[in-house]
Structures are given as structure tokens and as C-alpha cells.
Amino acid sequence: MAIRYKIRSRIYYAYNEIKKMSKKISLIGAGQIGGTLAHLIAIKELGNIVLFDVAEGLAKGKALDIAQSSGVTGFGVDIIGTNNYEDTKNSDVIIITAGVPRKPGMSRDDLLGTNLKIIKQVADGIKNTSPKAFVICITNPLDVIVMALQKYSGLPTHKVVGMAGILDSSRFKYFLSKELKEPIKNIESLVLGGHGDTMVPMTKQTKIKNKNLNELVKENKISKSKLDDIINRTRKGGAEIVKLLERGSAFYAPAASGVEMAESYIKDLKKTLPCAAYLNGEYGYSNIYAGVPVVISKKGAEKIVEIELEKSEKLNFDISVKAVKELFESAGKIDPTLAK
Ligand code: TXD
């Protein structure tokens, strides 16, 4: 009996030591996306979770509810809720969804004024408590908010990225999969540029069972007008869901996309993922964030992959980056410290 007790206590001690070695993932914002992120991360056991929100009860209530689901799904990571940045100290990964979502009829850009103020508060909250964290920003308008976050926080540009392209690429692949009656796992694609109506689904980079999408158009497997409809539906993918939900915006696919980035970092998977990353000469741009293919490894945004763009793709990419630049200039008018 005594031996059995000793063995059991040793196992429990080892279990707790392993838990301490787990990564620490703080989620700033416990709303629709934040709560879904927490649940997905817990089930995948990517690390111990701190769910933060200014609405303390929301963070604590969702954390407790998810924790209580461990009796069903059996995950062994810890999760707590808080409104105190001290509890997020020394995070390995921080995923930010703090902000307001769109209402029907609003554009992502309409959120700029409110979410700029919120991201400043978040930057002040994390820059000293988790200076080494890999920070994934999800809050809209994404490209400008992630740029403001990096400037406000002063964290290294390769450790601050935005989530949008994975979501947009997933939407594009889903619509193609339905149209072509092809399992989505057989479709590869990239949507680059800003996360807005000017985003660029890269048809030349899209392959269905390793066959280029442009070939399928030539073979009339999908008409040009149908493909244009799918590109347009991808660009309006967020607004379509906002209209259906009436309150709030998409959260399951955005959360799954954020987890994809966090997992590639935590497990050093070196996946090449479309993310809003800081450009330092790549694609002919500097000192701006835009959606490009990025190798996400334990180093963060380890490398930006420069793919050869068709003339029309480059033209659309330039239009998209111009839109991000113009919105960032608007941000500079709201907060002149960003205009430097
Ligand atoms: O692809 C993408 N990047 C987009 C991003 C996809 C979908 C939604 N996108 C944007 O994410 C959306 O337009 C919003 O700007 C954010 C978060 O969307 P979510 O649907 O999660 O919004 P909620 O449910 O309103 O949650 C936001 C939470 C809410 O609980 C607030 O109390 C909290 O943010 N909040 C704060 N937390 C911390 N600190 C501050 N200052 C703060 N202010 C609000």
C-alpha cells in the first residue's frame, strides 16, 4: 500500500513538473474568438492558458467552464481567467483579440478609432511583462492594428505578426472545394495583401490536386466568371458572416487560424503561412505590415518567402498594400505618435 502511494505521488509530482515546463499562452480578449482560442488550445494541449479580459468575469467564467470540460476531453493543461496583466507575465505566446468587432454594414476600417486605443492599452500591458513573447494579433483592422501594436510595444518585428491570410486562404479554399466538388485537403492556396476588400487570392499559387487553378479555368472545369464570384465572396467573407450573425463577427475560423500560427511557433514546425508580417524590403516594401508567406518557427516570423507574382497579382498586391498605407496614415492622424 505504502509503495503504491509512493509511486502515485511520484507520478503526480512528475506530471506537475511537466506541466510547469509547458508553454504559457496568454489570450488578451476573452470574447468570441478569445474563448474559442482557449478551448482549441486546451484540447490540443499547446500550453497552459491565461485568458485575460477587462471584463474580469467573462475571462474567469470562460476559463472555469473550459477547465471543467477537461473531465470530458481529458486535457491536462491549466487555464485561468484574469484582468491583471501580472498573471500573463513571461508568456511564450500572446494572442490578441481585444477590441470591438464589426456590426452589419460596418467595414473593418470603421473599427480603427476604437481598436487603436484598445491596442495601445494592450501594448502597454504586455511590453514589460512578456518582452520575449511571440505575439499574434487578430484585432481589426488587422494590418494597421498589428503595425500599431508593434510600434506601441517596441517588441521585435519578427515576434509580432497578424493573423488574416490563413483565414482568408481557408475561405477561398472552402469556396473552391464546394464549386469543384474536391476535398479541401487537396487544395493549396494563398491569399496575400491586406485583410480587406483589396486582399489578393493568388490564383497562380492555387493548386487543386497539384493542378494549377488557371489550368482548370483554361480546361473550363471552372468558368472565369465563377472564379471571379468566388474571389469576391472571399473578400466579403467576413461581412457575409457579420450580416448573418447580426451581432458580432466570425470566430471559429479566425480562432482556428490563430492556433495554426501559435502551434507552428510552439512546435517549431517551420510552416509557411500567409500572415501579416513586417516587410523590410521584401516585395519592394519597407516599414509596413502586409499579408505575405512567412516561415513561422521557434524564432517567430523566421523568414518572409518572396514568391514570383504574375503581373496582375503584383498589381493587385500593390493596390492592397496602398490601402494599408492609407489606413495607417489615418491612424497617424488619430495618434500622431504613429505618424513618425
Ligand atoms: O481575420 C481577422 N483578423 C479577423 C479579426 C477575423 C474576425 C474578427 N476579427 C476581429 O477580432 C474583430 O473585428 C475584433 O476586432 C476582434 C475580436 O473579435 P471578437 O468576435 O472576439 O470580439 P468580442 O467577442 O467583442 O471580444 C472582444 C473582447 C471583449 O470580450 C472585450 O471585453 C475585450 O475584447 N476587450 C478588451 N480586452 C482587453 N483589454 C482591453 N482594453 C479590451 N477592450 C475590450
- Per-residue pLDDT, 104: 86
Q: Is a pLDDT exceeding 70 seen at residue 254?
A: yes
Q: How far is the CA of 30 from the centre of ligand 1 (A)?
A: 8
Q: How far is the CA of 184 from the centre of ligand 1 (A)?
A: 28
What integer is the mean pLDDT of 77-105? Answer: 95
Q: Whose CA is nearest to atom 34 of ligand 1?
A: 98
Cβ of residue 248 lying under 6 Å from some atom of ligand 1: yes
| DSSP one-letter code for 107 | -
The catalytic residues are: 195
Q: Is a pLDDT exceeding 90 seen at residue 107?
A: no
Q: For the segment 257-309, what is each residue's pLDDT rounded down to a tens digit?
A: 999 999 999 999 999 999 999 999 999 999 999 999 999 999 999 999 999 99
Cβ of residue 165 lying under 6 Å from some atom of ligand 1: no
Cβ of residue 254 lying under 6 Å from some atom of ligand 1: yes
Q: What strands lie across the sheet with 271-280, from one edge to the other? A: 79-82, 48-52, 24-28, 93-96, 134-137, 160-162, 271-280, 286-297, 300-304
For the packed helices 237-245 and 224-235, what is the interaxial angle rounded to 10 degrees? 60
Q: What's the farthest any 2 CA atoms get from each other in the chain?
A: 75
What integer is the mean pLDDT of 211-222? Answer: 95
Cβ of residue 80 lying under 6 Å from some atom of ligand 1: no
Rounded distance, CA 196 to CA 104, Å?
15
Q: How far is the CA of 124 from the centre of ligand 1 (A)?
A: 17
- Cell 497617424: give the residue: 332
Contact in structure between 268 and 297 (CB atoms under 8 Å): yes
Q: In the beta sheet, which residues pair with residue 279?
A: 288
Q: Exposure string (b/e) for 103-124, b if CB count within 10 Å is 16 or more?
A: eeeeebbebbeebbebbbebbe
Q: Is a pLDDT exceeding 80 seen at residue 13?
A: no
**Which of 47-61, 191-205, 220-234, 323-337 is predicted with the least confidence, judged by mean pLDDT?**
191-205
- Per-residue pLDDT, 273: 98
**Which of 75-79, 81-85, 191-195 is predicted with the least confidence, judged by mean pLDDT?**
191-195
- Per-residue pLDDT, 17: 61
Cβ of residue 30 lying under 6 Å from some atom of ligand 1: yes
**Which of 85-94, 105-114, 203-212 is predicted with the least confidence, judged by mean pLDDT?**
105-114
Q: How far is the CA of 316 from the centre of ligand 1 (A)?
A: 28
What integer is the mean pLDDT of 97-106? Answer: 90
Q: For the segment 115-169, what is each residue's pLDDT rounded down to a tens digit?
A: 999 999 999 999 999 999 999 999 999 999 999 999 999 999 999 999 999 999 9
Give percent above pLDDT 90 in the chain: 86
Q: Whose CA is nearest to atom 41 of ligand 1?
A: 118
∠ at Cα 150 (146, 154), nearest 5°? 170
Per-residue confidence band for 103, with pLDDT thresholds at 50, 70 and 90: confident
Q: Whose CA is nearest to atom 42 of ligand 1?
A: 98
β-strand pairing of 300-304 with 286-297: antiparallel
- Per-residue pLDDT, 18: 62
Cβ of residue 34 lying under 6 Å from some atom of ligand 1: yes
Give percent above pLDDT 70 in the chain: 98
Q: How far is the CA of 182 from the centre of ligand 1 (A)?
A: 33
Average pLDDT, whole number, for the chain?
A: 94
